[in-house]
Amino acid sequence: MFLTAPVNVTSGLVVTPALQVALEDQTGVVLTGFTDQITLALATGPTNAALVGTLSATAVNGVATFSNITVTLPGSGFQLAASNPHTKNGLSATFTVAPPVHQVDLSWNAPIGSPDPVAGYHVYKSSDGGNTYQLLNSAVDTGTTYEDTLVKAGQSYDYYVTSVDASGVESAPSNMIGVTIP
C-alpha cells in the first residue's frame, strides 16, 4: 500500500514528498517485521515515459521510502506499481505529471579534425558555482544538443561538455557556460 502517493508531480523533478510503500496484512496492519526489498515501476503512463532514481528500497519496520524518484515525461494516467517477490503487488492512485516549469537547452559544435572519431558526448552541470560537477547523461549522447529539465527558478548553473571516443576516452572540457534561471 502506498502511504505517500504521487501528487503534484512535475516531469524531471524529484517527486516530493518522498514516496512510501508499506507491506500490510489483510486487515491493513503494517507488518513491521518486514525488511525485504520493494521495487517501484511504472504500471501505466504515456509511451516512452520512464521512472528514474533508486527504484528499489529496503523496508524498515515494514515501510520502504523512495526519496529520489523522477518521472521523465509529462502526461496523465500514470500509476506506480510496488512489488516484492513474496507479496502481492500494490498500485498507487492514478496521477498526472506536469511539464517542467524551466529548462536549459544546450547545443555545441562537433570538434573538427579530432585525431580519434568522436563516439558521443558527456554533459556536466554544477550548481555550486563550478566547484563540483555532476555527469548528466549516464550513457554517451551522440547528438550535439542536451535539454536539462532538472533546473529550479532562481538558481544558477554552470555546464560543460566533453567528447568521448570509441574507447571511452574523454576530451578536455569545453568552455564553461553559466546560466541563471529566472
Q: 2-98 and 104-180: same fold?
A: yes
- What are the sequence ranges of the domains in the chain? 2-98, 104-180
Q: Is it the case that residue 172 has pLDDT exceeding 90? A: yes
Each residue of 45-54: pLDDT tens digit?
988 899 999 9
CB 14 within 8 A of CB 53: yes
Q: Is the CATH number 3.30.420.10 carried by domain 2-98?
A: no
Q: Is it the case that residue 105 has pLDDT exceeding 90? A: yes
Q: What is the pLDDT of residue 98?
A: 92
Grid coordinates in use for 143? Answer: 547528438
Q: Give the CATH class of 104-180.
A: mainly beta
The whole-chain average pLDDT of the chain stands at 91
pTM exceeds 0.75 for this model = no
Cα–Cα distances in angstroms (integers) from residue 151 to residues 26, 105, 123, in the given order: 42, 11, 15
Beta partners for residue 82, in sequence order = 40, 90
Q: What is the pLDDT of residue 81?
A: 94
